[in-house]
Structure 1
């Protein structure tokens, strides 16, 4: 395999098919970092590590959801997720695709995305040729593609970088 295929977009080595053990190790490294972060912020949180779909998933919950409300904002979760990915990469030398969820933020965002898709599908059913959604991360675009497919429509990502977005059309 060529060297180009063995690197991610930031030119960091990646593992195309990490083992469950490697993903669990990523989760442990990430959890240690998040625990320290929560301690510094003087916040309580319970961490759960899960491995599915070739990714490590870290969930942070609290009995006092207000404690996590600031951290659960999508921009903050995204930024913290990137920091955690860098920590993992620094520890094991390869790019991480781990997903971080704080206080149910991922479920809340998925519900928002479902509403966006429903509104876009409604525009198409009313006669629009297509419907473009706002720019979003690759993970969110993947969720949108899945939602669109479930509704019997077609979608594709368009644009580059921060402007990359999803366009929905009839099948």
Structure 2
């Protein structure tokens, strides 16, 4: 977070000076008034300057972009990043020549990158945003694989009449499983265990 402490004849003048130093607009900053100042006699004698501390919170999506580029660079890779952002979520889609390196086995490396990027994006901000890191459409392909897996294991649970445990998954992948099976009245699903080993359980309904 960038911040400056400046003085001026008035609080507003000090804020305007700070905006120039930070190259920012008023809607981007946070202001802490340290001293409102004092005009003094005839505006001169006994006057006291106003003092304000002006803070410029970091751009969340930009911080995530820079972090991902740096991590990719350290892994010997160069990536292009397309960013989509709304009030609740930031989505990064990575493309590059060695993209498989950033995905990893069953998306484990990509999941780790997503978790770390989410920490970076939210560490200095009052507005929490969920972060999705994708790589050349991997998430959509993975979601389709998870849906097919859910259907197959649901049939297995019904056939064997016992609970079937899936491998540990991050919360958004578990949600895909739960959603895929929510209309199947022959089974129920729930999550069991403690992160990062929390997994979906498919239970037959007798």
TM-score (norm 1): 0.69
Q: Please tell me whether residue 166 in structure 1 is matched to residue 200 in structure 2.
A: yes
Q: Which structure has the bigger radius of gyration? A: 2
Structure with a larger share of its residues in strand = 2
Q: Which protein has greater RCO, CA pairs closer than 8 Å, 6+ apart? A: 1
Aligned pairs for 1:1-171 (under 5 A) are: 25-51=59-85, 54-62=88-96, 64=97, 67-73=98-104, 74-92=107-125, 96-149=129-182, 151=184, 153-170=187-204
CA distance in 2, matches of 1:162, 1:44: 29
TM-score (norm 2): 0.59
Aligned-CA RMSD value: 2.7
Moved more, 38-47 or 83-92: 38-47
Q: Following superposition, which runs of at least 4 residues in structure 1 exceed 4 angstroms of deviation?
A: 93-96, 150-153
Q: Secondary structure at the match of 2:77?
A: coil
State the Cα distance separating 1:143 from its structure 2 match.
Answer: 1.4
Unpaired segments ≥5 residues, structure 2:
1-58
CA pair 137-118 structure 1, distance change in 2 beyond 3 A: same
CA pair 54-146 structure 1, distance change in 2 beyond 3 A: farther
State the Cα distance separating 1:52 from its structure 2 match.
Answer: 6.0
Tell me the alpha carbon deviations over residues 50-83 of structure 1, each in whole angstroms, 9 at most, x when there is no partner.
2369321111123x3xx11111111211222222
CA contact (8 A) 1:145 1:155 kept: yes
Structure with a larger share of its residues in helix = 1
